[in-house]
């Protein structure tokens, strides 16, 4: 038992040390001080997230969560961080404290909340998550009522069993075969894309709205509000629209098309032979194409041919940046050595998602080397080395056939001011986050004001003076 307790404390302290190191790296890199990159789509903060994700072998989403916790503990909750460093609380409590305190904008109030939490949290370890959350919110509410997270709004919950889930909402969940699930996923994607770029809804909310189109037919109505919306001309509004037909890509050995061997669904993994046959029969039958190993001769242009692009994406299956698993069909094709010094050839092409393509291109310090079998060796700005191997070659060894050593020409130095080509956002990440926090605080304040007015009305209606 002593060993269990000691190991748990050591584990907690190690987690605290990791976050402390991440916070120190953030302070050294000081991404918020690089004013030239503040409005880049992949700013200094985003580049640091990618580097941490590669070092920890986790997704960018998980890396960002750790970076956010590290910054908050370092800059806003140092007393909580000190208790965590001793191993006296665990990562679950720390993550909850960080997420519940993120609406506090006054540094003095944040310090007071930090002090009050540090005085109480050692007694909360045996509480359930809901009770722990209530304790944290009570501390925040006593200091900064508008900084307490309110209940989720009904309009924020749109997802794809149908059962009640509170006022005005239902929850849809289920479990399907991979073949049926990937077909539904692709159809929802296709319908969600039937609007113009000015539609204010997120892609996930349009996917949820696409369920109505599946049920009733027609097309997804664009909500841009423009009279001349390019997604729906007058003729299109008058004419019936057939629900979008999805394209599903399955990689199999040639003999498996009739259903005698397993297949692979990019983004979903292996599927059994019967589901390969099911997908092959959809829509009147599958279109079968042979993915050939490309010749050793490079192609002449910058943009790869359809056959070469298909081979590279089937070989890679995912983004080739360390830890990223975005399907290759949703990735760019990157020349490892930039064109024209680096030829358009399988040995010099790889799949990179847009985020990691931008990181490689615009954030200095990352270096990548590609080998003829598709192996990529990455060196990070801190000098650490990571190796990624093509996922497709693991499942189908033919796709790992070396495609030859390519000739590399003389590379030109980076053009001056090439950072101007980086896509930009309208406001910086910090401004965007502050606006989000202020909006939530305003909603919380309005809710508190309405509760106060309701109590005053009830008191006025029911109050009886004491008898003489």
Parse the chain into domains and list their residue ranges: 2-147, 172-238, 251-284
| Residue appearing with tokens 């615009």 | 362
213 pLDDT more than 90: no
195 pLDDT more than 80: yes
Mean model confidence pLDDT for the chain = 86
In this prediction, residue 234 carries a pLDDT of 39
- State mean pLDDT over 378-382: 94
Each residue of 70-111: pLDDT tens digit? 999 999 999 999 999 999 999 999 999 999 999 999 999 999
How many whole angstroms separate alpha carbon 186 and alpha carbon 41? Answer: 27
- State mean pLDDT over 419-434: 84
Q: How many CB atoms lie within 10 A of CB 465?
A: 5
Question: Which residues have CB under 8 Å from 147's CB, separation 6+?
Answer: 101, 103, 104, 105, 109, 140, 141, 441, 444
Long-range contacts of 43-52 (CB under 8 A, 24+ apart): 43/428, 43/429, 45/429, 46/355, 46/359, 46/429, 47/359, 47/363, 50/321, 50/355, 50/356, 50/359, 50/363, 51/380, 51/381, 51/382, 52/22, 52/25
pLDDT band at 38 (very low <50, low <70, confident <90, very high): confident
Write out the two tokens for 425.
Answer: 């956002």
pLDDT band at 383 (very low <50, low <70, confident <90, very high): very high
pLDDT band at 261 (very low <50, low <70, confident <90, very high): low
**Among 14-18, 91-95, 215-219, which stretch is predicted with the lowest mean pLDDT?**
215-219
312 pLDDT more than 90: yes
Global pTM exceeds 0.75: no
Geometric angle at alpha carbon 133, from 89 and 49, rounded to 5°: 65
pLDDT band at 147 (very low <50, low <70, confident <90, very high): very high
Question: Which residues have CB under 8 Å from 143's CB, separation 6+?
Answer: 109, 112, 113, 116
- State mean pLDDT over 343-355: 95
382 pLDDT more than 60: yes
Q: 197, 196, 179: which is closest to 187 by C-alpha?
A: 179
E strand residue ranges, 95-212: 162-164, 170-172
pLDDT band at 317 (very low <50, low <70, confident <90, very high): very high
463 pLDDT more than 70: yes
Write out the two tokens for 179.
Answer: 């073949």
User: Could you say which DSSP state residue 318 is in?
Assistant: B
Write out the two tokens for 196.
Answer: 């113009």
132 pLDDT more than 70: yes
- State mean pLDDT over 10-27: 96
In this prediction, residue 255 carries a pLDDT of 60
225 pLDDT more than 90: no
User: Could you say which DSSP state residue 254 is in?
Assistant: G
238 pLDDT more than 50: no
In this prediction, residue 166 carries a pLDDT of 54
The answer to whether residues 196 and 231 touch, using CB atoms and an 8 Å cutoff, is yes
In this prediction, residue 77 carries a pLDDT of 96
């Amino acid at each position: 038992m002593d060993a269990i307790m000691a190991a748990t404390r050591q584990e907690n302290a190690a987690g605290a040390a990791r976050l402390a190191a991440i916070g120190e790296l953030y302070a050294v890199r000081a991404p918020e001080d690089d004013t030239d990159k503040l409005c880049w789509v992949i700013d200094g903060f985003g580049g640091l997230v990618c580097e941490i994700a590669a070092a920890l072998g986790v997704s960018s989403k998980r890396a960002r969560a750790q970076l956010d916790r590290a910054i908050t503990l370092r800059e806003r909750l140092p007393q909580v961080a000190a208790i965590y460093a001793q191993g006296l609380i665990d990562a679950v409590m720390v993550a909850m404290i960080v997420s519940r305190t993120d609406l506090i904008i006054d540094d003095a109030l944040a310090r007071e909340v930090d002090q009050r939490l540090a005085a109480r949290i050692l007694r909360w370890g045996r509480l359930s998550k809901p009770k722990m959350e209530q304790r944290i919110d009570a501390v925040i509410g006593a200091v900064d009522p508008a900084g307490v997270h309110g209940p989720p709004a009904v309009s924020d919950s749109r997802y794809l069993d149908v059962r009640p889930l509170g006022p005005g909402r239902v929850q849809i969940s289920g479990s399907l075969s991979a073949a049926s699930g990937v077909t539904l996923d692709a159809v929802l994607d296709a319908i969600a894309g039937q609007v113009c770029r000015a539609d204010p809804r997120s892609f996930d909310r349009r996917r949820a709205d696409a369920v109505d189109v599946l049920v009733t037919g027609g097309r997804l109505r664009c909500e841009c509000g423009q009279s001349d919306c390019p997604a729906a001309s007058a003729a299109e509004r008058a004419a019936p629209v057939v629900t979008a037909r999805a394209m599903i890509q399955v990689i199999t050995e040639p003999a498996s098309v009739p259903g005698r061997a397993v297949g692979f669904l990019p983004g979903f993994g292996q599927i059994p032979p019967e589901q390969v046959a099911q997908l092959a029969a959809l829509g009147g039958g599958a279109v079968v194409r042979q993915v050939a190993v490309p010749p050793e001769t490079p192609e002449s242009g910058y943009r790869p041919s359809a056959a070469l692009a298909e081979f590279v994406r089937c070989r890679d299956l995912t983004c080739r940046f360390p830890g990223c698993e975005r399907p290759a069909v949703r990735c760019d094709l990157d020349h490892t050595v930039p064109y024209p010094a680096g030829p358009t050839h399988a040995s010099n092409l790889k799949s990179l998602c847009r985020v990691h393509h931008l990181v490689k291109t615009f954030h200095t310090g990352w270096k990548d080397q590609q080998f003829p079998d598709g192996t990529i060796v990455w060196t990070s700005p801190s000098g650490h080395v990571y190796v990624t191997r093509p996922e497709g070659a693991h499942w189908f060894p033919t796709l790992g056939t070396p495609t030859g050593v390519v000739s590399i020409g003389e590379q030109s130095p980076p053009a001056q001011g090439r950072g101007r080509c980086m896509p930009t956002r309208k406001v910086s990440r910090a401004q965007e986050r502050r606006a989000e926090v202020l909006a939530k605080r305003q909603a919380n304040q309005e809710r508190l004001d309405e509760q106060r007015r309701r109590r005053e009305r009830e008191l006025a209606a029911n109050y009886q003076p004491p008898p003489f």
